[in-house]
Chain A
Amino acid sequence: MITLNINGFEVEIKEGSTIYQAASSIGVKIPTLCHDERLKPHGSCRICVVEVEGARSLVASCSTPASNGMVVHTESESVITARREILDLMLANHPLDCLTCEKAGRCTLQDLCYQYDIEESSFDGKKKKYEKDTSNEFYYADQTKCILCGKCVYVCSQVQNTDAICFVDRGFETHVGTPFDLGLAKSTCVSCGNCVAACPVGALMPKRKEKFRYWEIDKVKTTCSYCGVGCQMELLVKDNKVVEVEPVKGHSNDGMLCVKGRFSYDFINHSSRLKKPMVRKNGVLEEVSWDEAYDVIANKITEVKESDGADAITGFSSARALTEENYLMTKLMRAVIGTNNIDHCARL
């Protein structure tokens, strides 16, 4: 363990931690646009710079190891000047279209400009302009809004391990793109949307089916029902309708989702979606209670078992069920019904 001083407070933290981690551990919030605990520190945005007494210049707190006896100031005058200047530079190359930007209300750049009173940029030079890449079915990329924090690129390569996107060109022309700039649809992108979730601004956004603002929605935390991994996610609900899905950092998914969990939520509001058990009576499907449905199942199974034996029955389980549920299904088939005829949809 090492001890350092942050804004006058003594902090004890294990060796190898960064200044950012040390600050977070005592609730000192350092702003950042590019930091993500899942990634190797890359120090791109430089918003998290802090002053370390005795250091030659400001240091990026996200990537500088904390050391014993270090004295850190996270909101000193020089730090604020540098952060304001960096925000000024970002804003100089960013469209000021917050009125219509879909990210408004959840944009870190917007929040930081508010925090540090940057109303507009003091530079009036060239601004980048790129065509939107809308070739992916589920999300779009608008490089004009990108602040090049790099999170999307590193999430894709280090966490998702897909390597579909990369930095292209150098200097002011740098942008995030696909090989030969052929567009997302022609890349190796698997549409997981984990880059979209990482983007702090409106450069990567889900394609919306209806208009909504982030301040209009309610969040419902749930477990993804597509498979047994148990990914945690939040349903964004407006007027009792799911309008977007966001990953939540859970034990099994660490803030990641796949294309299905992230984008395939249409069925929730679909008119044909089964919401109650149904039993065919006189050739017509009728809604029944769960008790009645269970009775029908139990009676039919008993009937078949008695007339033709347990091996006349087979059970198919689903990849959408949890591991625990699949275990119970096996138990039901083998121990209760008494047959080894049990299989799973993934083998079909």
Chain B
Amino acid sequence: MDLYRSHVLVCGGTGCASSESGRIIDNFNELLIEHGLDKEVKIVKTGCFGLCEAGPVVVVYPEGAFYSMIKVSDVPTIVEEHLLKGRIVTDLLYKDHTTSETMNSIDEVGFYKKQRRVALRNCGVINPESIEEYIAFDGYQALGNVLTEMSPNQVIDIVKRSGLRGRGGGGFPTGTKWEFTQKAVGDLKYVACNADEGDPGAFMDRSVLEGDPHAIVEAMAIAGYAVGASKGFVYVRAEYPIAVKRLQIAIDQAKENGLLGEDIFGTGFNFDMEIRLGAGAFVCGEETALIASIEGKRGMPRVRPPFPAVKGIFDKPTLLNNVETFANIPQIILKGAEWFASIGTEKSKGTKVFALAGKINNTGLLEIPMGTTLREAIYDVGGGIPNGKAFKAVQTGGPSGGCIPAEYLDTPIDYDNLIALGSMMGSGGMIVLDEDNCMVDVARFFLDFTEEESCGKCTPCREGTKRMHELLDKIVDGKGTMDDVAKLETLAKTIKGASLCGLGQTAPNPVLSTLKYFRHEYEAHVLDHKCPAGVCSALLQYLVVPDLCKKCGICAAKCPVNCISGVKGKEVYLIDQDKCIKCGACMDACPFKAIKKG
């Protein structure tokens, strides 16, 4: 292997790739050849670094220089200054949001300090399209150990003792699931990986598949050995083209190297796997709907029992785990159950990856030990709320999760605590809301999603989410009554209690949690006809403050519907409320802050 004096890691995740990281890589390679550096410096296209806010990200080792928001036009500067002359380009380095301090090295960045990377350990570190790099980072060693030194029962015992719980949201003990599948009777068994990540804003599974696909291949083979399966399916959304491509490369490389297929490591164990593409239905993340989809049927959940461990794909016993769950497996095998169990809380072991989004400085992916408080995740890792705004709530668990208010910020994150607060872990979405977010509107936003994504099978979910959405529409339009609020609450409880699958059972969570913690906002909409956050346009009025108006007429000129009248220089301007479409253009345009929203 060639030795390089410097490695340039360029993020090739979906976010950075959309911001032309592919062209950045090409440009680096061209310039290295031009300067005769191509034998000294190596460009590596990695998976996601997590700090998507700063993308496209380029990290130069050995210094660890963390260049952020790099454009193609910045590449010559980095090559000529840093790589050729050894001078770090300070202007392009990442600056901390809160302190505006320039970070010389990736190790100094606050975003990474409280993180502990297990599932994401190789993301942003190795080239995901190279099996050699994965192997260099202990890849396939766990599979080797398992196949040559351990019995299936020993493997299951380790997973059970580690305390790992399902990372797809359910939180079911993984080892127990493996044991159920192992004990189920069947001439054929399957291992399946749920990569149908559908929560808006969540992309941890995509990141693992894009950044470390071999970890999934290895973990599924280990699972196959433990439960007695020789065939695996990965169900990935077709909207993840980079993930699909890299996973296929990983599967092909593993086959070429004898790490998948027949007689793996000469032990007589056979395991093969293939990818099945999902067509973008959220409900296919539900295990029985996913299985139906793999079988080529319409993706609709079915009643349980029988559980997939007993009757899964094509009615055969099937082990179904989420991407992030699998990503932990090789590490648990290599480092031991005790090591994994030492991280986290009493009932939730290990780390969890969250997708931090919304009103937060460091939008991106973070992996933190279970038991980290919401405050640490949002302020220490996430860098707090931008523009000095006040925190209002954090929505966890995707569209089926709940909104947690400020008074619970010091709650340690684990499965049980989040459920106790009326939310859930889900797949790890974490959307931060500030004072400018209307909680009724937030609940409506999520209902809009679940209503569309309901599979239509059972009555409470299909009809009920529609009616909840309509009631919320009525309330944000200022036409709601307190009876409607009461009806909304009763309906939400019925849907939660009577729906067939997890989608319907959790779809009312955004409504129930906002009613629990932010009922006053509902009351303000209904009783006072006001939206306290100033979001719901039907309840808004844009008004000119006469004392501040300088009669300049800029507002009238900007108004797209000509509803502002006045005489330039002589008269205070007036907004015709009947014609106003509440676009806010006048307020943005007024140089004297003479237009207020209320």
Contact = CB atoms under 8 A, between A and B. Distances in A.
Majority SS of interface residues in chain A? loop
Interface stretch (B1-9, B380-388, B489-497): B489-497
B470 interface: yes
Contacts of B470: 123, 125-126
Contacts of A206: none
A255 interface: no
B500 A46 contact: yes
A85 interface: yes
A58 B464 contact: no
Nearest to A147: B459
A229 B172 CA distance: 51
B298 interface: yes
Contact of A148 (B462, B490, B497, B498): B462
B456 A167 contact: yes
B505 interface: yes
Contact of A89 (B298, B302, B467): B467
B458 A125 contact: no
A92 B468 CA distance: 13
B360 interface: no
A171 B459 contact: no
B568 interface: no
Contact of A60 (B454, B490, B500, B505): B500
A169 B303 contact: no
Interface string A57-98: 110100111000000000000100110011001101100000
Interface in B437-467: 451-460, 462-467
A311 B467 CA distance: 78
B268 interface: no
A125 B281 CA distance: 25
Nearest to B298: A167
A65 B466 contact: no
Interface in B299-333: 300, 302-303, 305
A118 to B, nearest CB: 14
B456 A90 contact: no
A43 B454 contact: no
A167 B281 CA distance: 15
Nearest to A41: B303
B467 A125 contact: yes
Given A46-B500, A89-B463, A123-B467, A57 B494 contact: no
Given A58-B498, A81-B494, A93 B463 contact: yes
A167 B498 contact: no
Interface in A111-168: 122-123, 125-126, 147-148, 150, 166-167
Contacts of B283: 170
B497 A89 contact: no
Contacts of B464: 89
Given A85-B490, A89-B463, A148 B499 contact: no
A46 B505 CA distance: 13
B453 A171 contact: yes
A174 B456 contact: yes
Interface in B470-521: 470, 487, 490-491, 494, 496-500, 505
Contacts of B500: 43-44, 46, 60
Given A43-B500, A92-B463, A169 B456 contact: yes
Contacts, number: 106
B496 A57 contact: yes
A171 B498 contact: no
A125 B498 contact: no
A46 B224 CA distance: 37
A171 B452 contact: yes
A49 B452 CA distance: 25
B491 A85 contact: yes
Nearest to A174: B456
Interface string B103-128: 00000000000000000000000000
A11 interface: no
B498 A170 contact: no
Interface string A266-305: 0000000000000000000000000000000000000000
B305 A82 contact: no
Contacts of B303: 41-43, 60, 63-64
A64 B305 CA distance: 8
B496 A46 contact: no
A86 B494 contact: yes
A172 interface: yes
Contacts of A60: 303, 500
A61 to B, nearest CB: 11
Nearest to B470: A125
Given A43-B303, A46-B500, A86 B466 contact: no
Name which of B302, B454, B459, B487 has the most chain A CB atoms within 10 A of its CB: B459
Contacts of A58: 497-498
A171 B451 CA distance: 6
B460 A148 contact: no
Contacts of A44: 457-459, 500
Given A44-B500, A46-B460, A46-B499, A171 B466 contact: yes
Contacts of A319: none
Contact of A49 (B466, B496, B498): B498
A313 interface: no
A85 B492 CA distance: 11
Interface in B166-217: none
30 contacts: A42-B302, A43-B458, A45-B458, A46-B458, A46-B459, A47-B459, A49-B498, A57-B497, A58-B497, A58-B498, A63-B303, A65-B305, A81-B490, A85-B491, A90-B459, A92-B463, A92-B467, A123-B470, A148-B456, A148-B459, A150-B457, A167-B300, A167-B456, A170-B283, A171-B451, A171-B453, A171-B465, A172-B451, A174-B455, A174-B457
Ranked nearest first, the 4 interchain pairs of A and B with the lowest CB-CB distance are A174-B456, A89-B463, A63-B303, A125-B470
Interface of B: 281, 283, 298, 300, 302-303, 305, 451-460, 462-467, 470, 487, 490-491, 494, 496-500, 505
